[in-house]
Structure 1
Amino acid sequence: MKTEEARQYQNLYTQLAAVLGPERIRRDEPLFRHTYTKLGGAADIAIFPDSPESVQQCVDIIRQAGVPLTVLGNGSNVIVKDSGIRGVTLILTELKRIHLDNQQISADCGAAMIDVSNFAYEYSLTGLEFACGIPGSVGGAVYMNAGAYGGEVKDVLVSALVLTRDGKMTLRARDELQFSYRHSIVSENGDIVLQATFALEPGVKTEIRSKMDELTFLRASKQPLEYPSCGSVFKRPPGYYAGKLIQDAGLQGLRIGGAEVSTKHAGFIVNVNHATASEYISVIEAVQAAVKQQFGVVLEREVRIIGD
């Protein structure tokens, strides 16, 4: 890092530490600690704000400094490259409050969807059972309209509080978020999801628990949860299932370095032996090439790849 750039980063670090406190900012933070794949290099600066207001303050400082900003939730659906991330990485996992207002649940962006689903169960509210096995955070779930077992975030979301590109906190109604399959407008416009509100219905607690147990069993029996992974790597191609195409292509067990196409579920790529991000990405690309060659189907990644 050049002298002038080092001075700029030191000044930025000092300003951010003044907002957050020294315990919520780190230099050269290894990002494999913050991803489900256990992959990735270091962030130049990583910050861990614990309130929407501190996020707003920090983002304003970072933008005025002209330094790159990367937003990361709990890292369940992301691959960080081995070279890491330049600038500031905003990690939102400390924003994790969940509270009830009548039959609506509001949850901070860093709360795990599994925890929100369990919270709904505790209050005998139905509608979020599908999320009982989604490892992602609330912010990430809104970002990509996460779903499982026939349910999607768009089915229960009322609104989301976002921080816009120009630094304003704005409440977006569900229709404004333009949800579609594994997509929302947030994935395009640079908004940062800070909080989401879900509308649920009164239910029978034992029935809610039974449905959650059923989905948890299905997930554990079909998915390779014993290894680090990013979950489902690819979106479902129209008219096909990604896992079935990969299986039919004979790719299960394909391995590059420590990354492997799961023998338990072909839609997953697992880190079986200290894989690098480059190895993991190479397996993704090899699968895409083979499926296109054999079936003429282009597999689009669901997982995000970030970093330099």
Structure 2
Amino acid sequence: MSESDNAREPLEWRLRAIVGEGNVLVDEPMSEHTTFKVGGPADLYVIPEDFDEVREVLLACDEAGVARFVLGRGSDLLVSDEGFRGVIVAVGDGLMGVAVDGTEMTCQAGVDLREASEMACELGLSGLEFACGIPGSVGGACFMNAGAYGGCVADALKCVRVLMPDGSQETLGVDELDLGYRRSRVAADGLVVLSATFDLEKGDPEKIRATMDDLTRQREEKQPLELPSAGSTFKRPEGHFAGKLIMDADLQGFQVGGAAVSRKHAGFVVNVGGATAADVHAVIEHVQDEVERQFGVRLEPEVRFLG
């Protein structure tokens, strides 16, 4: 038995005691939990179902000296083919509660952002229309200040409930989160989002739906939604658009194995069938190198790498 196995076994039983037998999976393939549909196994995949369980799971991992990663919907994540030697804490599978108080909607971290947008529409609440096609969790959206089509989480957010590095819970107002383009204090300070409260406005459900339908149509026309991807692969470089730089570099269609730069939208690296994480990584690196060589701009991935 390896040293990692010796560390894992007592932790595995402690985690089962915290979240229940059925909520701890061993050697779980991460290809089942990322929108790229690639990635090797995680040693342990743990599904906490309330805030206390999240805190206890993270504490148990830290006390055991075992690496852990908090996972939402896996929509901005590339997990290596070797997988993750540690514990995946899958809040996207467990923290699913939603509460509405007037024009405020509080979603636990695992709620799908698209579903939150749909619920707001059904309730006649405006402010989350931009999120109707963003394939991530509420927690992940706060982590990276997700946005699209002129709107972002910062525009609609009132506050977040977070787990601090010391294990305490705090509620932080939107002005305390340092939200900017694909950045937040949540990411910078290693906070864990437990829930988010959105401050919305009363609106006409039909008008809200019309806006969402229009944004959905634009997405379907312009983005390769029919293929697995992590959405926009690169952040927007200052003064440029990543997709245009990639297109101007004549990289649309560039392919390694089962991964390719989309011919429909150059800003997307897609899994065209049977891609490995190594294939995806190779395409990303080639795009970065070629765009930098031709235009002097180094593209920064929006995708996060794990393992």
TM-score with structure 1 setting the length: 0.98
- Alpha-carbon distance between aligned partners in 2 of 1:261 and 1:7, rounded to the nearest angstrom: 42
- Counterparts in 2 of 1:172-251, with a 5 A limit? 172-251=172-251
Q: How many residues align?
A: 306
| Stretch of structure 1 that moved more, 61-70 or 40-49 | 61-70
* SS of corresponding position for 2:154: helix
Question: What corresponds to 2:97 in structure 1?
Answer: 97
**Amino acid in structure 2 at the alignment position of 1:59:** L
Q: How far did residue 79 of structure 1 move?
A: 0.4
Q: Secondary structure at the match of 2:230?
A: strand
Asked if the contact 2:36/2:229 (under 8 Å) is kept, the reply is yes
* Higher deviation after alignment, 231-240 or 59-68: 59-68
C-alpha distance in 1 between matches for 2:175 and 2:97? 24
Once the two structures are superposed, what CA deviation does each residue of 1:30-63 show, in whole Å capped at 9, x if it has no partner? 0000000001111011101111111111111111
Stretch deviating more after TM superposition (84-93 or 34-43): 84-93
Aligned to 1:109: 109
- Hey, what does 1:301 align to over in structure 2? 301
The SS at the match of 2:27 is strand
Please state whether the residue corresponding to 1:88 is helix, strand or coil.
strand
Per-residue CA deviation, residues 41-89 of structure 1 (Å, 9 max, x unaligned), is 1101110111111111111111111111111111001100111111111
Q: Matches of 2:5 and 2:264 in 1, distance apart?
A: 47
Measure the CA separation in 2 of the matches of 1:256 and 1:9: 35
The offset of 1:5, in angstroms, is 3.9
Q: 2:85 is matched by which residue type in structure 1?
A: R
* Partners of 1:58 and 1:255 in 2: CA distance: 40
Partner Cα separation in structure 1 for residue 305 and residue 62 of structure 2: 22
Residue deviations 1:96-143, cap 9 Å, x none?
Answer: 112201110000111011000011001101110000000110010000
SS at match of 1:231: coil
Alpha-carbon distance, 1:8 to partner:
2.6
1:53 and 2:52 correspond: yes
Partner of 1:265: 265
Cross-structure match for 1:126: 126
Distance in structure 1 (CA, Å) of the matches to 2:291 and 2:230: 20
CA distance in 2, matches of 1:279, 1:143: 27
What's the offset of the Cα at 1:92? 1.1
RMSD after superposition: 0.9
Unaligned runs of 5+ in 1: none
In the aligned structure 2, how far is the partner of 1:6 from the partner of 1:277?
25
Take 2:153 and 2:264, find their aligned partners in 1: how far apart are those partners?
27
Task: Give, in whole Å, the separation in 1 of the partners of 2:178 and 2:81.
Answer: 33
C-alpha distance in 1 between matches for 2:259 and 2:6: 39
- Provide, for residues 225-280 of structure 1, a one-character-per-residue CA deviation record: whole Å limited to 9, x for no partner: 11100000001111111001111111000000000000000000110021000110
Pairing of 1:280-299 with structure 2 (within 5 A)? 280-299=280-299
Contact 2:227–2:271 (Cα < 8 Å) also in 1: yes
User: 1:193 aligns to what SS in structure 2?
Assistant: strand
| Cα distance in 2 for residues equivalent to 1:42 and 1:245 | 35
Letter matched to residue 284 of structure 1: I
Residue 256 of structure 1 corresponds to 256
* Paired position in structure 2 for 1:66: 65
Paired with 1:242 and 1:20, the residues of 2 have a C-alpha distance of 42
**Secondary structure, in 3 states, of the residue corresponding to 2:6?**
helix
